[in-house]
Amino acid sequence: MSLRYALLALLSVEPMTGYDLSKRFESSVAYVWHAPDSQIYPELRRMEKDGLLAGEEIPWGPNSKKTQYRITAEGIAAFREWMNTPLEYSRERDPVHLKAAYLEWADHDSAMAHMQAHIDYHTLRREQWAGMIEELRTGTNVMLAKRLAATPEPDRRRTTEFKIFTYEGLVARAETEIEWGRRGLELIDLLDGASGVGSGPLAPGSGPVL
Ligand code: VNL
């Protein structure tokens, strides 16, 4: 359901075709809200049906057409309403932590690989988010540049700073995850070393005593 607000946020700047929107999405809001095209296109059609967007057929090449979506007054009101409504938090459903809680069932190498994958994933994300901060600070992000061009000067600072603030939070979170992953590697080594487990291949069924 948040996808529609991400799309409204982008369309609040200017009308776009589904294709342009999907490309713009990828280099901006997708860094915080991942959605494949297979969700974006149907959502745009639903939003049009709900009156949040108005679709207009525009020529595309010599003999083709595309739908260009423009946010309606109702769409702007819906976005503002959402922004002023408290979020409902959902309780965690995190397979990584679920797995971490039962690592005594994993082989030493698998346990180490889980933690290393966690470190690698968050290292990549940290770099991507840090890269976005750089784009936002230097004015090289296309979406933000368009938004700022359509924003009255007194509001430009908050428009930029809240986005940087968002990514700073994500970078800090990634760093915590990397640190936790490193502690996991150390812990697995320490515990497996202590019990003798992990010093060689385990016989099937030689996990925890049931
Ligand atoms: C925008 C630009 C949003 C860059 C972003 O993430 C971003 C925007 C929420 O102007 O809508 O990374």
Average pLDDT over residues 97-126: 98
User: Does a structural domain hold residue 54?
Assistant: yes
Do 38 and 13 lie in a common domain? yes
User: Does a structural domain hold residue 175?
Assistant: yes
User: Residue 133's domain spans which residues?
Assistant: 95-195
Is the distance from the beta carbon of residue 22 to the nearest atom of ligand 1 less than 6 Å?
A: no
User: Does a structural domain hold residue 200?
Assistant: no
Record the pTM: 0.91
User: Does a structural domain hold residue 203?
Assistant: no
User: Does a structural domain hold residue 148?
Assistant: yes
Average pLDDT over residues 186-197: 84
pLDDT band at 207 (very low <50, low <70, confident <90, very high): low
Last residue of a domain, one of 83, 109, 125: 83
> What pLDDT does 15 receive?
98
Do 119 and 59 lie in a common domain? no
Total Cβ atoms within 10 A of residue 184: 20
Average pLDDT over residues 71-94: 97
Probe target for ligand 1 pocket from 141, 160, 161, 162, with the most ligand atoms within 8 Å of CB: 141
> What pLDDT does 205 receive?
58
User: 46: closest CA among 8, 19, 88?
Assistant: 8
Atom of ligand 1 nearest to the CA of 166: 9
> What pLDDT does 210 receive?
64
User: Does a structural domain hold residue 88?
Assistant: no
d(CA 34, CA 11): 17
Do 39 and 122 lie in a common domain? no
CATH number of the domain where residue 26 is located: 1.10.10.10
User: What letters, b where the CB count within 10 A reaches 16 and e where it falls short, cover 39-73?
Assistant: ebeebbeebbeeebbbbeeeeeeeeeeebbbebbe
Average pLDDT over residues 53-58: 96
> What percent of the chain shows pLDDT beyond 70?
92
Please say if the pLDDT value at position 111 is more than 90: yes
Do 152 and 65 lie in a common domain? no
Is the distance from the beta carbon of residue 44 to the nearest atom of ligand 1 less than 6 Å?
A: no
Do 109 and 186 lie in a common domain? yes
Q: How many domains does the chain have?
A: 2
Do 39 and 103 lie in a common domain? no
Atom of ligand 1 nearest to the CA of 9: 11
How many A from CA of 26 to the centre of ligand 1?
10
Do 33 and 70 lie in a common domain? yes
How many A from CA of 163 to the centre of ligand 1?
6
User: Does a structural domain hold residue 182?
Assistant: yes
Average pLDDT over residues 96-103: 98
pLDDT, tens digit, for every residue of 2-35? Answer: 999 999 999 999 999 999 999 999 999 999 999 9
Task: Please write down the HEC assignment for all residues of the chain.
Answer: CHHHHHHHHHHCCCCEEHHHHHHHHHCCHHHCCCCCHHHHHHHHHHHHHCCCEEEEEEEECCCEEEEEEEECHHHHHHHHHHHCCCCCCCCCCCHHHHHHCCHHHCCHHHHHHHHHHHHHHHHHHHHHHHHHHHHHHHCCCHHHHHHHHCCCHHHHHHHHHHHHHHHHHHHHHHHHHHHHHHHHHHHHHHHHHHHCCCCCCCCCCCCCCC
Do 78 and 99 lie in a common domain? no
Do 47 and 19 lie in a common domain? yes
Taking CA atoms only, the protein residue closest to ligand 1 atom 11 is 10
Last residue of a domain, one of 28, 48, 83: 83
Please say if the pLDDT value at position 37 is more than 70: yes
Average pLDDT over residues 98-122: 98
How many A from CA of 144 to the centre of ligand 1?
6
Last residue of a domain, one of 83, 110, 141: 83
Average pLDDT over residues 27-52: 98
Atom of ligand 1 nearest to the CA of 136: 4
Do 63 and 150 lie in a common domain? no
Radius of gyration, alpha carbons of the chain:
23
Do 121 and 41 lie in a common domain? no
> What pLDDT does 199 receive?
45
User: Does a structural domain hold residue 210?
Assistant: no
Do 129 and 166 lie in a common domain? yes
User: 17: closest CA among 54, 68, 65?
Assistant: 68
Please say if the pLDDT value at position 157 is more than 50: yes
d(CA 174, CA 191): 25
pLDDT band at 200 (very low <50, low <70, confident <90, very high): very low
> What percent of the chain shows pLDDT beyond 90?
90
